[in-house]
Amino acid sequence: AHTTCVVWATGPGPLFQLKRLDMTLTDHGFQRTQLLKNLASVVQMASDVWSLTVTEDNNQVPGGDTTYWCKVVRLDERLSRKHHIVKFEPVITQGNEPLVHHMELFHCEGPADKEFPLYRGPCDSEDRPEDIKVCKKVLAAWAMGATPFYFPQEAGLPVGGEGYNLYAMLEVHYNNPELREDWIDSSGLRVYVSPTLRQHDAGVIELGLEYIDKMAIPPGQPHFPLSGYCISECTGVSIPPEGITVFGSQLHTHLTGIRVMTRHIRDGRELPELNRDNHYSTHFQEIRLLKRAVKVLPGDALITTCLYNTTGRPNITLGGFAITDEMCVNYIYYYPKTSLEVCKSAISDQSLQTYFRQVHEWERQPTSPHMGISDNYRAIDWNPVRASVLHELYLQSPIYMQCNQSSGERYPGDWTSVPVTPVLYPLPPSPRICD
């Protein structure tokens, strides 16, 4: 069920051996795919399904290497009646496939009569209105390489209805390493909705690491792991007693991610993994319909681990939004919908500041309490021993939790310095079947 890279070629036969085959003389190509795909991933849609498309409008993309561009829109008035999203797909401007890294469509939470400014511009601009900070509930998401996503027959993502605010925000991540200033883009997302409601309202939860610089990967590492936790205390206050059923998963890192997995823990015992890709590629980030739906109960923990290869990088790689920064995320699709939107973590502030102080006092590294986190990380002269110590620090330190509702508010509790959920009985390695 992992990503497979297929190299193909056609030409006059017969072909007796592959040795010394010159593929430049043939019609050839390269394709990433999931060979053992869930064949039930395409679902027949009802006749009353209609689509709405939200795209940029001939946007002049800035010349920086990373741009997050936001556009607020008012949705179709037909959504004053509740619908279910049953499918979504990308709309990419022809020729801009290398530019558009990922896109998300967010609902703006608020009273039905509240009007949001129709902002269009950089998501991090000082001119961005404060009001649209509530536009953060995911309606649809796409990343490079993904194909159209169909919800299973029994569930759809709820949109519209009485008291529903009709404003949404499209966010597009542009990756422009050549710093070109001549990109014009009208990419976006097309969402298919049905007034015929399915059995369950679906939802999306973000698992993994916060998008901040507290977690980092030293240079020269062939497979450095980082883990983000959705601890049992968070699921205990947010998931209903009957649990939720996870049916889809989208793994996400940036350029140095090579493997991603999400482990499932219940009462200290590890259950079968929720999802794993041992050959992950940032260029192939499709949402995958799981072959086996996973039941998550209150008190369960989900641990998302990403492995990174930084052997070609001269200095530390920090967590963040830029394509040269890193992320570790699993967007899980589930039903029935709850208010839990984000369940992610990072090392606690106190543990990190203690580490910077100790590496200064014991190893004479030029870190300082007067410097920011990023500057402290960059000040360290990284070697294999220091990289190993940092790895152990991440494993043993308490964490800061984001246990957030779709409104952006945290669930009640102290999430500032909490222990990770212990794994007392790990899952044994799967036997290799290669007779």
Does residue 122 fall inside a structural domain? yes
β-partners of residue 209 are 345
Please give the helix or strand (H or E) that residue 121 lies within, else none: strand 120-122
What spatial distance separates the first Cα and last Cα of the chain, rounded to whole Å? 19
Instruction: Say if residue 74 is in the same domain as residue 186.
Output: yes
Same-domain check for residues 210 and 185: no
- Residue 42, domain member (yes or no): no
Same domain, 54 and 18: no
The pLDDT value given to residue 130: 92
Q: Are residues 57 and 194 in the same domain?
A: yes
Place of tokens 């037909």: 78
The whole model's pTM is what?
0.86
On whether residue 238 sits in a domain, the answer given is: yes
Q: Let me know if residue 415 belongs to a domain.
A: no
Q: What is the mean pLDDT for each group of 10 consecutive residues in the chain (435 residues)?
A: 73 75 71 64 81 94 92 96 96 94 92 95 92 90 86 94 95 92 96 96 96 95 97 96 96 93 96 92 79 95 97 94 91 95 96 96 96 96 96 96 90 93 89 69
Query: Interior CA angle at 79 toward 78 and 82, to 5°?
Result: 120
SS3 395: helix
**234 lies in the same domain as 312:** yes
Asked if 90 and 103 count as a contact pair (C-beta separation under 8 A), the reply is yes
Tell me, yes or no, whether 45 lies in a domain.
Answer: no
Active-site residue, 252 included: yes
Continuous segment of H or E residues that includes residue 375: helix 373-379
Cα 70 to Cα 117: distance, rounded to the nearest angstrom: 12
Residue 337 and residue 203 in contact, taking contact as beta carbons nearer than 8 Å? yes
Of 28, 68, 360, 391, the active-site residue reads: 68
Q: Which pLDDT does position 258 carry in this prediction?
A: 94
Give the pair of three-digit tokens for residue 179: 């710093």
Q: Which phi and psi angles does 301 have, rounded to 5°? A: -125, 150
Rg (CA), the chain: 23
Residue type, 219: P
* Of 20, 16, 17, 120, nearest in space to 68 by CA: 120
| Domain at 352, CATH number | 2.60.120.230
pLDDT value, residue 235: 97
CATH number of domain containing 121: 2.60.120.310
Q: Residue 12 is part of which domain span?
A: 3-34
> Annotated catalytic residue: which of 101, 200, 252, 264?
252
Which pLDDT score, from 0 to 100, does residue 5 have?
A: 67
Please indicate, yes or no, whether residues 224 and 122 belong to a single structural domain of this protein.
no
Residue 191 dihedral angles phi and psi, to the nearest 5°: -115, 130
In a domain, 373, yes or no: yes
Q: Per the structure, how many domains does the chain have?
A: 3
Q: Which position has the token pair 């409601």? A: 197
Residue 401 structure tokens? 């939790």
Residue 391 among the catalytic residues: no
One domain for residues 145 and 279:
no
The tokens of 224 are what?
């450095």
| 306 lies in some domain | yes
pLDDT at residue number 25: 64
